A and B are shown apart, each in its own frame.
Chain A
C-alpha cells in the first residue's frame, strides 16, 4: 500500500530564476510520472526542513517533467529555492480539484492572474492552447506589481504574438522601459469586451484581487458558477485529515483549491471563516 504521507524523491533537472525571489524548477518525474490536471498542486518536502503546497506550473501533457514555480517567502520556501540541479526534493501528489477546463469547452475563456497566480494558471493556459479548437476566444490577463515581477515574460511575449489568443499585461508601477498599460488587472477585464453569455473566468491571485475580478465579472453579467477562483490556506497534509485548510465547510486541499464563485462567494464577505 502506498502511504499517502511519504514523499517520492525527485531530482531537480533545471532551475530558472524568474524574478528576484521566484524560481522555476523542473523535476525529473520519469520514474513516477505525475499525471496532473491544470490547477492541481503537490506537496514538496525539503529533507529535514519541512513541506509546502506548490501548484504545478508545467504542461499537463508532460507528466515526466514536474514543473513548479516557487516564491521564497519563509522558512521552507527560502531553502527550497536555493536548491540547484542535481539536488533532490520529496514530492507527494498531485492533489486537489482542477480548473474547469473541460466544462469550459465551447466557451470563451478568460484567465486572470495576479502575481504568483500565474503559476497555477499556466497549465490551464497551456491546455487551452493545446486544444485551441475546442474553445472560443481565449484571453490571458496578467497583473504584476512591476515589470520585474512578471513571471514567464518571454512566454507571455510569444503567446501575445499569436493571432488566436489575446494576452494583456498590466503593472501597478512601471519602469522606464514599460510600454504597456498601468493599473489593476480588473481594468483589463472591464475593457475585454466579453460576451457574458458565453464566457468563463478563472482567476488566481491575492484574495482581494480575486474578489474584485469576481465582482467585475458578475457586473458584466457572467454567472457566478462560471467564475472560478483558486484559494491558498495553511496545508499540512493535502489529504483532508489535518484540518488546517478548512474554509467554511470545505477542505481547500480536497474540495479546492479551485472553487466556483457560486459556492464560495458569500464567504469572501465574512472575515476569518
Chain B
C-alpha cells in the first residue's frame, strides 16, 4: 500500500536527509529562477512558484500551491556532481621537485527534487565519467555518496521533449526516493517510494501514513505530464541523417543566429567538457583547477597554428552532432535527455529540436 508524508511533515524529510552530515540540495527560487542550493528548512524551497518556459524565455509565476511546482531551472545535478570549478590537486615545491596533495574531501550530498530527465542525465554522465575506461575521481567520489530524491513531474513545460527521448516523464529508475506530490480533497502530501536500500532506510524513519488511494499516483501524474507534452524530437535515423548532413547548408544559416555564447552547453545536464589551468599563489604553491568548458569557445580546439573549429558554423555543428549523433558511437546512447534547458536558456531562442530537424533534412550541398 502506498505511504505518504503529510506536507506538514516535510521538514522531517529534510532533517533525515541531512542527518548524517549530508548537504541537502534542493530547488530554491533565486533572482527569478529556480536553482539548486543547500536547503535546511522547508521555507527555503521554491514553494509557490510555477515555471513558464519557451525558446529563449523563462519566467517564474506565483500562485502555485505545490512545493515542487516549478519543473526545471538552469541548473541540473551536474552542478553538484561535476562542479563548474574544482581543484584537481594541489602541489608545492620540494627542492627541485614537487609534492602533490589531494583536494579536500567533497561534500556528501542529497539532491532533492530531481526529475526523470535529471536521473537520465546522471546515467549519461556515469557512462562518460565512470564507464568509459578511466574514472574521473572528482565525479566518482560525489556520485558514490549521493542520495537522489526525485519528484514525479505532474506537467510538462513547453520546451520538454523527454517522452520522445525515452527518458521521462515517468521517474522509473535510478532514484533512492521517489516523491509524488498530491493535492486533493484528502489533503496535501508526498507519496514516498523507495528505490534502493538507502531509500528504504530513510523512508522507515519518516512519519509516513497509509494512503490506499494513492497506489497509482505516480503513474497518473506521469500520464498527465505526457499528455501535455507537445514537443518531440524525431529520433529514428537521426544519427545517420545528421552525419550525412555534415556539409549541408544549414550550419551556416544557424550560425547567423547563434551568438556563440556557450550558454546551451553550460545548462545542458550531460555536457561534460572541461578545461584545466594552473593557479599559483604568492607562496609558490600551485593548483590544477578544472572548469567547465564549451565546444562553442574558439580556444576550445586551439592547437599551434590556430583553432581546428575556427568557424561558428563548425562549432554549432559539433554541439548538435555530438549531442544527437556521435554520442551514440561513443557511449551507445543519445547525449540528449530532452530537458529543453538549451532551448529555454538560449538568448537567441534557438530551438534544438527545430534545428536538428532542419539540419537533418536540409538539402546536401553538392561539391
Whether A50 and B322, one on each chain, are in contact in the complex, defined by CB atoms closer than 8 angstroms, is no
Whether B133 and A254, one on each chain, are in contact in the complex, defined by CB atoms closer than 8 angstroms, is yes
- Which segment of A83-91, A122-130, A159-167, A215-223 sits at the interface? A83-91
Classify the interface of chain B: helix, strand, loop or mixed: mixed
With contact pairs A1-B137, A232-B303 given, residues A271 and B314 touching in the complex (Cβ less than 8 Å): yes
- A11, B95: Cα distance in complex, Å: 11
- Tell me which residues across on chain B come within 8 A of A192, comparing CB atoms: none
B185 within 8 A of A: no
Whether A243 and B286, one on each chain, are in contact in the complex, defined by CB atoms closer than 8 angstroms, is no
Whether A246 and B318, one on each chain, are in contact in the complex, defined by CB atoms closer than 8 angstroms, is yes
Shortest beta-carbon distance, B362 to chain A, in Å? Answer: 15
A224 within 8 A of B: no
- Tell me which residues across on chain B come within 8 A of A74, comparing CB atoms: 304
How many chain A residues touch the partner (CB < 8 A)? 40
The interface bits of chain B over 279-318 (1 if a CB of A lies within 8 angstroms of the residue's CB, else 0) are 0100010101000010100001111100011110111011
- A4, B288: Cα distance in complex, Å: 13
Whether A47 and B93, one on each chain, are in contact in the complex, defined by CB atoms closer than 8 angstroms, is yes
A233 within 8 A of B: yes
- A160, B308: Cα distance in complex, Å: 37
Whether A241 and B136, one on each chain, are in contact in the complex, defined by CB atoms closer than 8 angstroms, is yes
- Tell me which residues across on chain A come within 8 A of B310, comparing CB atoms: 272
- Tell me which residues across on chain A come within 8 A of B314, comparing CB atoms: 271-273
Whether B97 and A233, one on each chain, are in contact in the complex, defined by CB atoms closer than 8 angstroms, is no
A148 within 8 A of B: no
Report which of A11, A49, A241 forms a contact with B274, defined as CB distance below 8 A: A241
- A249, B330: Cα distance in complex, Å: 6
- A68, B263: Cα distance in complex, Å: 39
The interface bits of chain B over 117-140 (1 if a CB of A lies within 8 angstroms of the residue's CB, else 0) are 000000000001100111111000
Whether B293 and A242, one on each chain, are in contact in the complex, defined by CB atoms closer than 8 angstroms, is yes
- In A3-50, the 8 Å CB interface with B consists of 3-7, 9, 11, 45, 47-50
- In B78-131, the 8 Å CB interface with A consists of 88-89, 91, 93, 96-98, 100, 102, 128-129
- A86, B96: Cα distance in complex, Å: 7
- A63, B275: Cα distance in complex, Å: 30
Whether B329 and A244, one on each chain, are in contact in the complex, defined by CB atoms closer than 8 angstroms, is no
- In B192-228, the 8 Å CB interface with A consists of none
With contact pairs A4-B134, A47-B286, A236-B275 given, residues A88 and B293 touching in the complex (Cβ less than 8 Å): no
Report which of A234, A240, A246 forms a contact with B132, defined as CB distance below 8 A: A240
Whether B329 and A48, one on each chain, are in contact in the complex, defined by CB atoms closer than 8 angstroms, is no
With contact pairs A90-B98, A243-B274 given, residues A234 and B302 touching in the complex (Cβ less than 8 Å): yes
Nearest to A87 among chain B residues (CB) is B96
B53 within 8 A of A: no
Residue among B288, B293, B309, B315 having the largest count of chain A Cβ atoms under 10 Å: B288
- Tell me which residues across on chain A come within 8 A of B325, comparing CB atoms: 249
Whether A241 and B246, one on each chain, are in contact in the complex, defined by CB atoms closer than 8 angstroms, is no
Shortest beta-carbon distance, A220 to chain B, in Å? Answer: 25
Shortest beta-carbon distance, A256 to chain B, in Å? Answer: 13
- Contact residues of A with B, CB < 8 Å? 1, 3-7, 9, 11, 45, 47-51, 73-74, 86-88, 90, 232-234, 236-237, 239-244, 246, 248-249, 251, 254, 270-273
A-B residue pairs in contact (CB < 8 Å), sample of 9: A4-B135, A5-B276, A6-B100, A234-B302, A239-B133, A241-B274, A244-B273, A249-B325, A270-B246
Given pairs A234-B308, A242-B274, A249-B330, 19 additional interface contacts (CB within 8 A): A4-B137, A5-B89, A9-B97, A45-B288, A86-B96, A234-B301, A234-B303, A236-B275, A236-B293, A241-B272, A242-B273, A243-B272, A244-B275, A244-B293, A246-B295, A246-B326, A272-B317, A273-B314, A273-B318
